[in-house]
Amino acid sequence: MKPYTLIVPVYNEEEVLEKNMEALMEHANRLGVEYEVVAVSNGSSDESENIGRALEGNHPRFRFFALPKKGVGRAFKLGIREARHEHIIFMDADLSADLSFIGKADRLLDENVLVLGAKFKGLQNRSLFRKMGSFVFYLSVLFLMGMNYVDYAPGAKAYRRSFLLEYFSYIDDLTSFVLNLTFIATVKKLPVKEIPIECDDRRKSRFNLWQEAASKYRGLLSLKFKKLLGRL
């Protein structure tokens, strides 16, 4: 394994932030590799920022930043700029994805620019509505772009920082950046690996699901248009 940066977006996570970040660092410590956690609040209106600052003061490997506007992509972009390591692993603050993804993804980044954790291929405990929404989007991507990867949600994904910096303009402010980056890697014939993950995500989503769906489909159609015009 190689040193890695964990990027964690934070939006109104006061109920779980301290407990989950402690658990995340405890797991990372057991892996025995140099790491850091970069947590980025994006528009939180609760006590998340105060909790994050306290964690930063107590843990030398934990750094906390705050942005005024909501947007997972905004948090991700700041995390990329601040990351100190080439291997970047993106995890949700609720830790809904199995933490074993971290070690697996770090190893796979030695040979891949992008590692996708795929809920469809593992055990997932999510609402039927969210499962169906993800499945329909997967079919749309398969039909329009010919890509048969199954999970384009932000959580449990890993990247080489050099790849992210080269294609930084494809990272939007919301959540379609996973699709964008996966498509770019596919077009450029860069190595991508998808692996199954277990996911336990039963709480109410922090996202506006309709807004996020609209963003993803806009991103999908924009990619298709650019592909047809030969702009990629």
pLDDT tens-digit profile of 176-205?
899 899 989 998 999 999 999 988 765 565
Structural domain boundaries enclosing 16: 4-228
* pTM to 2 decimal places: 0.85
Q: What is the pLDDT of residues 206-216, one digit of tens each?
A: 555 556 666 66
Q: What is the pLDDT of residues 146-187, one digit of tens each?
A: 677 878 889 999 999 999 999 999 999 988 899 899 989 998
CATH number at residue 30: 3.90.550.10
Q: Domain tally for the chain?
A: 1
Non-local (6+) Cβ contacts of 20 within 8 A are: 13, 93, 94, 95
